[in-house]
Each structure stands twice: as structure tokens, then as C-alpha cells.
């Protein structure tokens, strides 16, 4: 059973951190886990969906991260079902995050345009 040891935490905004952890099996580091830690009114803690990067893929990942910065801008967005406006998730404050019946992240946020508390899946 792998153990996770948090090593680096990057604060994205008041409601979300990116957490990088060593994935340890026995006494060996098998990879790096990239996860999220959220702070909302209903839940504070790690989210379920993390990504494990095996040690032998780290060089490739580092190279590709540089490539991404030269690519067309894309990002994870949320949509207000009340007014139809789309926002980058970094532009809104999460009030809650939960999973829908298919295990997809469903966030509750206050719409900056219409001011209502609404739910959206994450797109992108
Ligand atoms: Zn709205």
C-alpha cells in the first residue's frame, strides 16, 4: 500500500491549494502525486481526484510543462446555469465541492455576474 507524504503546497486562492506529495512504497519514492486541497463552508480537505506521476515520467512531464506555456490558452471553466456566463474557475470563489452521481466534480460558487449561488461541473 502506497503512502503519501505532502512535500509542496501551492496556494491558488482562498479556497484551493495544489498539493504535491511523494508516493512512497516501502522505502522508495515511486512517484509524485498532484492533488487539490479545498476550503469551503461544507468541506475542507483533500479532494479524491489526484494524479500520480511515476518517477520515470518526471523528466517528460517537466519538458511538457514548458511546452504548455507556449500553447493556446485553455483552462478549467465553470458555467452559471442562471445567466449562462462562463468563468475560469480561478475567477470564482468555491462555496462547496462535491461529486455528482458519475463521480465528476460539481462545484458550488457565487456567480460574479448575477450574484446567485449556483452549481456547475468543471469543464476543460
Ligand atoms: Zn450567473
Binned average pLDDT, 10 residues per bin, the chain of 124 residues: 93 95 94 95 91 95 84 82 93 92 93 96 90
83 and 48, same domain (yes or no): no
**Span from the CA of 88 to the centroid of ligand 1 (angstroms):** 13
37 and 96, same domain (yes or no): no
**Span from the CA of 55 to the centroid of ligand 1 (angstroms):** 43
Give the pLDDT score at 78: 94
7 and 66, same domain (yes or no): yes
What is the rounded distance in angstroms from the CA atom of residue 109 to the CA atom of residue 80?
9
**Span from the CA of 111 to the centroid of ligand 1 (angstroms):** 5
Give the pLDDT score at 73: 63
Its domain, for residue 58, covers: 3-70
**Span from the CA of 113 to the centroid of ligand 1 (angstroms):** 5
59 and 88, same domain (yes or no): no
**Span from the CA of 118 to the centroid of ligand 1 (angstroms):** 8
C-alpha cell of 72? 493556446
**Span from the CA of 95 to the centroid of ligand 1 (angstroms):** 15
**Span from the CA of 114 to the centroid of ligand 1 (angstroms):** 4
Contact in structure between 104 and 121 (CB atoms under 8 Å): yes
Give the pLDDT score at 84: 95
15 and 54, same domain (yes or no): yes
- Give the number of C-alpha atoms closer than 13 A to the C-alpha of residue 118, restricted to the C-beta side: 20
**Span from the CA of 87 to the centroid of ligand 1 (angstroms):** 10
- Name the residue with cell 474557475: 89
35 and 18, same domain (yes or no): yes
**Span from the CA of 74 to the centroid of ligand 1 (angstroms):** 21
Amino acid at each position: 500500500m502506497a503512502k503519501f507524504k505532502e512535500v509542496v503546497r501551492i496556494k491558488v486562492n482562498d479556497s484551493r491549494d495544489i498539493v504535491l506529495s511523494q508516493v512512497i512504497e516501502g522505502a522508495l519514492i515511486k512517484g509524485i502525486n498532484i492533488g487539490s486541497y479545498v476550503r469551503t463552508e461544507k468541506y475542507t480537505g483533500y479532494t479524491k481526484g489526484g494524479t500520480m506521476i511515476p518517477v520515470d515520467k518526471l523528466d517528460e512531464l517537466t519538458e511538457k510543462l514548458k511546452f504548455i506555456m507556449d500553447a493556446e490558452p485553455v483552462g478549467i471553466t465553470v458555467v452559471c446555469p442562471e445567466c449562462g456566463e462562463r468563468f475560469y474557475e480561478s475567477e470564482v470563489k468555491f462555496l462547496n465541492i462535491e461529486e455528482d452521481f458519475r463521480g465528476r466534480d460539481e462545484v458550488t460558487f457565487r456567480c460574479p455576474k448575477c450574484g446567485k449561488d449556483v452549481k456547475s461541473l468543471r469543464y476543460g
